[in-house]
Amino acid sequence: MKQADVTLFHPLQDRIREILLPSQVLQDRIRQVAQQISADYAGQEIVLLCVLKGAMMFTADLMRHLEPHVVLDFVAVSSYGSATSTSGVVRIQKDVEEQIAGRHVLVVEDIVDTGLTLHYLLANLRLRNPASLKVCCLLDKPDRRRVEVHVDYLGFAIEDRFVIGYGLDFDEHFRNLGYIGIMEEDFV
């Protein structure tokens, strides 16, 4: 196990069943995705819209490998529900600061699960008339989808397991892990 895959101390560490995506696997795939984005947006400016909080680490690593000019912005959305499931009611808690009309917007998400968050956010952003609106998502759980959303750039499609780490949390724990892990079923 590499250093980046080790949690030096975490009170809930024994609740992590296994490592699903080690840090090196994440970083290799992120570099590939960034190359594809760089090719597609060559010569254009990208408004990179990080969806807080979960996509923070992914956005930071992705943008390191992007060649086009990047303008970074953040949006925070909350979906009401329990610690592990989405209710379907979404609210923008922190709005985009950039004017996105006529610009190329790339939304960066950590995970698309039911699709409700992204569906709502994309509909909201479309009303502001961006020149283009695309989605880059690290993880996709297709089995969980409740509404159709199109992901233009995807890191990994995964099974329906409760994943944490690399920005993704369980009740605000584990965001700081360098890898994606799976929680013990009986804990969720």
The set of catalytic residues is 113
Determine contact, residues 96/75, Cβ cutoff 8 Å: yes
* Stretch touching ligand PRP by CB under 6 A, among 26-34, 38-46, 109-117, 153-161: 109-117
Q: Is 140 an interacting residue with respect to ligand PRP (CB under 6 A)?
A: no
For ligand PRP, give the closer residue by CB, 69 or 91.
91
149-172 residues labelled b (16+ CB within 10 A) or e (exposed): bebebbbbebeeebbbbbbbbbee
Determine contact, residues 49/77, Cβ cutoff 8 Å: no
Least distance from ligand PRP to the Cβ atom of residue 57, Å: 11
Strand partners, 164: 181
Q: Is the dihedral of CA 31, 36, 42, 47 positive or negative?
A: negative
Dig out the tokens for 34 from the structure. Answer: 């960034």
What single-letter DSSP state applies at residue 77? E
Using Cβ positions, the residue closest to ligand PRP within the complex turns out to be 54
From candidates 16, 21, 41, 110, binder to ligand PRP by CB under 6 A: 110
Number of residues that bind ligand PRP (CB under 6 A): 17
For ligand PRP, give the closer residue by CB, 19 or 122.
122
Max distance between CA atoms of the chain, in angstroms, equals 50
For ligand PRP, give the closer residue by CB, 48 or 51.
51
Q: Is 117 an interacting residue with respect to ligand PRP (CB under 6 A)?
A: yes
Q: Is 114 an interacting residue with respect to ligand PRP (CB under 6 A)?
A: yes
Give residues 44-103 in contact with ligand PRP (rule: CB under 6 A): 51-54, 79, 86
93-114 residues labelled b (16+ CB within 10 A) or e (exposed): eeebeeebeebbbbbbbbbbbb
For ligand PRP, give the closer residue by CB, 33 or 112.
112
Least distance from ligand PRP to the Cβ atom of residue 75, Å: 10
Which spans of this chain sit near ligand PRP (rule: CB under 6 A)? 51-54, 79, 86, 109-118, 169
